[in-house]
Chain A
């Protein structure tokens, strides 16, 4: 190193070469560029407003980071959001549960849906991709079947506090997301559970031989993914005031795009919560910035698709050069 400096060759320090740092730099550039194009973009009000929209996918992206680090994937999250939203609305309106109990019930259904994914993946050894494609159809189908395409509305006012209210001037759900980001970040970085995720993703056989409870850890991770989807459903229903069976369609794309954009390898073994958060913010600001400059909502899906493919392409070519 010192020899290199002595020869007058500047080497970038390691932290600068990290995926997250590069992303953060791109993010700042994008922010400035979008802000220059549109004076409504870089306002506190707009940015806080975006925080509301980010929360639903953000909540799911945290456990999805865990899932992808273990080398798995969960495509059923959007369907679980739909199922939980329906369960929340129906258990309250049709079964007559008190609303707090209905919320708990919806969260339980989410966790159960995730648990079923994890159970079959670990016990029967169905590949996560196929398992969650199957339950994507199943859970969405249950939401459709239970609701018969009817929507539920007319929740009491206090219910909207989570999705529409604010605390200390910050959207309520954004505070919830921030707390959970910190929890997830610490869990991933500082606990044996978190480190086990990397071990499993890097080499599952080695992890088994190291006496790590691989199956139990995976089961927990998929259950968390379902639970977070239930939480997202609660926030979503509270924000948009209605429960519909088609809620959460396409969430899997946004969430996976954010995690992969954030530097998690789709092959498992690497990824960080901080990267995922930057990926999330980037996608949301891209959507918002494009919308403000007049690009229609559907065209922004195109941008997310392109961003997803490009980020994986770039990451894998960097990886290959390093090897």
Chain B
């Protein structure tokens, strides 16, 4: 207590100012600023239709990034999520076309997502295999499995009532509702519940977390299971938006999701970050992708921009940490 009181006069950023300089605020400013700049160059960018498309078309990425943020905060990584979302979307669509009750075709991806991710989490947590190896293996199992089972066929003739994403509540489209709810609930839970705090503790220092009575292994398992749930939710938003589901895994989707989490302020060293940031970042990335089209840059440059963005954020994050460490943790 007294330490903060002593330190705060010396610290240039206090109270409201510090909140303004947070990653979330910076992202919000970037989102608005980019919209204004691109809107000046090409006013069509600001058409309600386009802004809605950006939000609706990318809500599923924000939802998946919520789970990814938890995984990264806990000190792990998952590169199988893109393939998993592809598999779950195909499963969901196939069930609907095969005549299963709509509720079943909506719920199965959630259950399956939790099951697949919990299995990976168990291997990571209890058998101590690095997440990168497990999820790299799972990536190829899911990717290869999906193509060889479906033969790359497209799923068409989806029943009308399958399209959950087309519904809206009080005029707000379902993808936005799901995105906001998922982000808000996850953010509150991570901030205020002991289990949520345990994720930060585990990612920050597993040994210290253990000594404080947190079970790091169970926490990692829980995080992966939750990540599976959000992946299922994301696949639901994704699949029910489409008229035709291509039974292949969306190329590079895991990279977009990881980028959203990292650009949103989730530290790749674990222990730091919020899902509000990751959701804002997902929106920003989608906005950038769309903006490139409106200022006549070829969409083939999108991946390069994304790569540069993630690289810049990561380097900034690490440099900031090093400077703070050099200052002897004054704050």
User: Min CB distance, B274 to chain A, in Å?
Assistant: 18
Contact A141 B305 (CB under 8 A): yes
A138 to B303, CA, bound (A): 6
Contact A312 B133 (CB under 8 A): yes
Partner of B133, one of A133, A250, A260, A304: A260
A127 to B140, CA, bound (A): 23
Does B260 count as interface, using CB distance less than 8 angstroms? no
Does A130 count as interface, using CB distance less than 8 angstroms? yes
Contact A133 B258 (CB under 8 A): yes
A137 to B304, CA, bound (A): 6
User: Min CB distance, B313 to chain A, in Å?
Assistant: 9
Contact B132 A305 (CB under 8 A): no
Contact B144 A308 (CB under 8 A): no
Contact B255 A302 (CB under 8 A): no
Contact B310 A124 (CB under 8 A): no
Contact A145 B298 (CB under 8 A): yes
- Interface size (B, Cβ < 8 Å)? 45
Q: A141-B307, A298-B147, A309-B129 are in contact. Are A130 and B314 (CB under 8 A)?
A: yes
User: Min CB distance, B83 to chain A, in Å?
Assistant: 10
A126 to B310, CA, bound (A): 12
Q: Which of B128, B137, B304, B306 gathers most chain A CB within 10 Å? A: B137
User: Min CB distance, B159 to chain A, in Å?
Assistant: 29
Q: A129-B132, A131-B314, A309-B134 are in contact. Are A302 and B141 (CB under 8 A)?
A: yes
A interface bracket (residues with beta carbon within 8 Å of B)? 35 or more
A114-133: CB near B (< 8 Å → 1, else 0) gives 00000010001111011101
Neighbouring B residues of A305 by C-beta, 8 Å: 136-141, 144
Contact B148 A138 (CB under 8 A): no
Contact B307 A138 (CB under 8 A): yes
Neighbouring B residues of A147 by C-beta, 8 Å: 300
Contact B129 A313 (CB under 8 A): yes
The dominant DSSP class at the B interface is helix
Q: A124-B315, A130-B268, A305-B137 are in contact. Are A316 and B127 (CB under 8 A)?
A: yes
How many inter-chain contacts with C-beta < 8 Å in the A-B complex?
139
A299 to B152, CA, bound (A): 12
Contact B318 A125 (CB under 8 A): yes
A162 to B226, CA, bound (A): 50
Does A112 count as interface, using CB distance less than 8 angstroms? no
Does B252 count as interface, using CB distance less than 8 angstroms? yes
Neighbouring A residues of B134 by C-beta, 8 Å: 309, 312
Q: A124-B315, A298-B148 are in contact. Are A135 and B130 (CB under 8 A)?
A: no
Neighbouring B residues of A73 by C-beta, 8 Å: 132
Kindly report which residue of chain B lies nearest to residue A306, judged by CB atoms: B141
Contact A140 B303 (CB under 8 A): yes
Does B164 count as interface, using CB distance less than 8 angstroms? no
Contact A141 B302 (CB under 8 A): yes
Neighbouring A residues of B304 by C-beta, 8 Å: 137-138, 141-142, 144-145
User: Min CB distance, A299 to chain B, in Å?
Assistant: 4
Contact B310 A134 (CB under 8 A): yes
Partner of B307, one of A125, A127, A130, A136: A136
Does B112 count as interface, using CB distance less than 8 angstroms? no
A147 to B269, CA, bound (A): 35
User: Min CB distance, A119 to chain B, in Å?
Assistant: 11
Neighbouring B residues of A241 by C-beta, 8 Å: none
A182 to B134, CA, bound (A): 31
Complex interface residues of chain B between 274 and 329 (CB less than 8 A to chain A): 298, 300-308, 310-311, 314-315, 318-319, 322
Partner of A137, one of B123, B129, B147, B255: B255
A residues with CB within 8 A of B: 73, 120, 124-127, 129-131, 133-142, 144-145, 147-149, 250, 252-253, 256-257, 260, 266-267, 296, 298-306, 308-309, 312-313, 316-317
B residues with CB within 8 A of A: 77, 79, 123, 127-130, 132-134, 136-141, 143-145, 147-148, 252, 255, 258-259, 262, 268-269, 298, 300-308, 310-311, 314-315, 318-319, 322
10 chain-A/chain-B pairs, Cβ below 8 angstroms: A131-B314, A134-B310, A138-B308, A141-B303, A256-B136, A301-B140, A306-B137, A306-B141, A312-B133, A313-B123
